[in-house]
Structure 1
């Protein structure tokens, strides 16, 4: 087996001190006053000799692993793909690596993943919490583990978080339908206690109230996640029978399933039924008209989450509740206003 190249080998190759090589390979050349030309030569020699740093030894010395743990809710969500990329890109800028896992919307798996990442000695966590995971969050706080919640949070827990104004986004989507003369807008959501989805429901209800439209419970469908296809199929039939002239889907997954059933019933969008979705999906491109939708600022969520977590890792006692606004993308599925 070929002998592993050490810092002293690079130093010997260039005729400089091992300390000087260490400063450069640990990105401390500026603070240690190493000139740019010397730093360049050291890095070139390291590459030429195929030097690979001993990350375990390095982490023990500086008490950091330069890794971030990321737990997402479900890899099937388009949001998950986007936010993972955004967090990885921002972490890389700060010389961090991201280790991630999916809880599949299961609180036991969420707890298991958090424990695995902590045992892997990540420096901090970025979490998309699931329903009934409050106790795990409280335990992280009690043990002073640096973490940031994204997308979802629990109002009763004082945590660092980066999310969007779900109430305002849902209000905007519903008002768009109403401004386009839809008088009986329906709402399709998951049956859940998660705060961000409850906020979307409240946004829908507030838009109806402000427009003088009485809430009709027969136009509100709550879908069980484990019975998604079955409940959506029944729900779309219920809404059309109840006289809905438009529908606001609380998530892109719900919208995709809903559009499948709308197609199967040969209902014309937007002529016979207006449609708006919260969040976008690549599957929307396969529909016969562009779907109007709300869009989360995924890149900004990733940037803010990483920045907040790095402050916590570096022992800055920050308290940040960052609430961002979503974008609204005009399609052709429910008018032009």
Structure 2
């Protein structure tokens, strides 16, 4: 069977080969092709079973129409959510996403980014882990288009899409204060990541601004590799009968799940014995007897913004964007009011 080429589609529709090329290469809008002609060309391509030669196309336009995505840990709900959002927006922009997970390992992060660059992806969307600054600087020097998502390094001037972690935490603590809580604990991870440190800062400032005690014992930092034992100790300390906390904010969804399990083991009733607020949501919350109040990240908007910025960079448009998004508050029944 003869291979269908652009000229065949052009003759079928009755337009020029150039017009067909513009439409099938995703340039219909920029080349001002009418919607009617663009639709006719797309339908003709389907009817004639047109199969583009991607290798030849990439060599011709010096683009592969692929985006490399590296997430920190695919097991995070954030990672799966942001991946779906990025894939959906990339597809709309005629890009394919190739992704991998660094598992919070800086060496694996460097390996994955290098592999993707060697595969000649047009650009990268990255969720970097700790100690990834060197690799980010190398990417900058190489001229590879990239955008950071969720996490960034304040000492490196890059394009990024992130959450306003300070305000989200400040607002969460303010909500607890307004609902009558005065002894509020904050359980976070022990980390050098800036976005989690910003959550610490939001917690402390909110307590100070509301003239409440900032007790160092109530601000807990758990080692990721010893999460279970550190959570057991931390929840026990904030529940001590002498000076128990009346509320706790968990800095991540995984910490929330670990904390709720520990409260169950202690026989603690939520919210009767202590109010619980989670920085993020988790599918496991649906299995808990009490709907958990939480902050929700706008993953779809963040994913769309990351792709939009990257496509501008790929198209050589001078772009310098550092976007912050706000959380939505989802009220459950885990906080006394």
TM-score (norm 2): 0.92
Matching of residues 180-199 of structure 1 within 5 Å: 180-199=179-198
Number of residues paired by the alignment?
Answer: 335
Once the two structures are TM-superposed, the CA of residue 277 in structure 1 deviates from its matched residue by 0.6
Give SS of 2:49's match: coil
Once the two structures are TM-superposed, the CA of residue 16 in structure 1 deviates from its matched residue by 7.1
Gaps of at least 5 residues in structure 2 are: none
TM-score (norm 1): 0.92
Once the two structures are TM-superposed, the CA of residue 25 in structure 1 deviates from its matched residue by 3.0
Q: Is the 2:4–2:49 Cα contact (8 Å) retained in structure 1?
A: yes
Give me the whole-angstrom Cα distance separating, in 2, the residues matched to 1:180 and 1:134.
Answer: 41
- Alignment correspondent of 1:107: 106
- Superposed CA RMSD: 2.1
Give SS of 2:121's match: coil
Give me the whole-angstrom Cα distance separating, in 1, the residues matched to 2:262 and 2:333.
Answer: 19
CA 1:143–1:151 in structure 2 vs 1: closer, same or farther (change >3 Å)?
A: same
Gaps of at least 5 residues in structure 1 are: none
Give me the whole-angstrom Cα distance separating, in 1, the residues matched to 2:31 and 2:208.
Answer: 64
Once the two structures are TM-superposed, the CA of residue 19 in structure 1 deviates from its matched residue by 4.8
Q: Is the 2:272–2:336 Cα contact (8 Å) retained in structure 1?
A: no
- Alignment correspondent of 1:78: 77
Give me the whole-angstrom Cα distance separating, in 2, the residues matched to 1:308 and 1:262.
Answer: 43
Give SS of 1:99's match: strand
Give me the whole-angstrom Cα distance separating, in 2, the residues matched to 1:36 and 1:180.
Answer: 54
- Does 1:167 find its partner at 2:132? no
- Alignment correspondent of 1:269: 270
Once the two structures are TM-superposed, the CA of residue 31 in structure 1 deviates from its matched residue by 6.5
Once the two structures are TM-superposed, the CA of residue 253 in structure 1 deviates from its matched residue by 0.6
Q: Is the 2:183–2:213 Cα contact (8 Å) retained in structure 1?
A: no
Q: Provide, for residues 42-66 of structure 1, a one-character-per-residue CA deviation record: whole Å limited to 9, x for no partner.
A: 4444323322111111011011111
- Does 1:330 find its partner at 2:302? no
Once the two structures are TM-superposed, the CA of residue 282 in structure 1 deviates from its matched residue by 1.4
Once the two structures are TM-superposed, the CA of residue 34 in structure 1 deviates from its matched residue by 6.5
Give me the whole-angstrom Cα distance separating, in 1, the residues matched to 2:260 and 2:181.
Answer: 18
- Alignment correspondent of 1:214: 213
Once the two structures are TM-superposed, the CA of residue 314 in structure 1 deviates from its matched residue by 1.1
Give me the whole-angstrom Cα distance separating, in 2, the residues matched to 1:38 and 1:320.
Answer: 35
Give me the whole-angstrom Cα distance separating, in 1, the residues matched to 2:174 and 2:31.
Answer: 58
CA 1:115–1:287 in structure 2 vs 1: closer, same or farther (change >3 Å)?
A: same
Give SS of 1:212's match: coil
CA 1:234–1:43 in structure 2 vs 1: closer, same or farther (change >3 Å)?
A: same
CA 1:295–1:42 in structure 2 vs 1: closer, same or farther (change >3 Å)?
A: closer
Once the two structures are TM-superposed, the CA of residue 39 in structure 1 deviates from its matched residue by 5.1
Q: Is the 2:26–2:94 Cα contact (8 Å) retained in structure 1?
A: no
CA 1:66–1:218 in structure 2 vs 1: closer, same or farther (change >3 Å)?
A: same
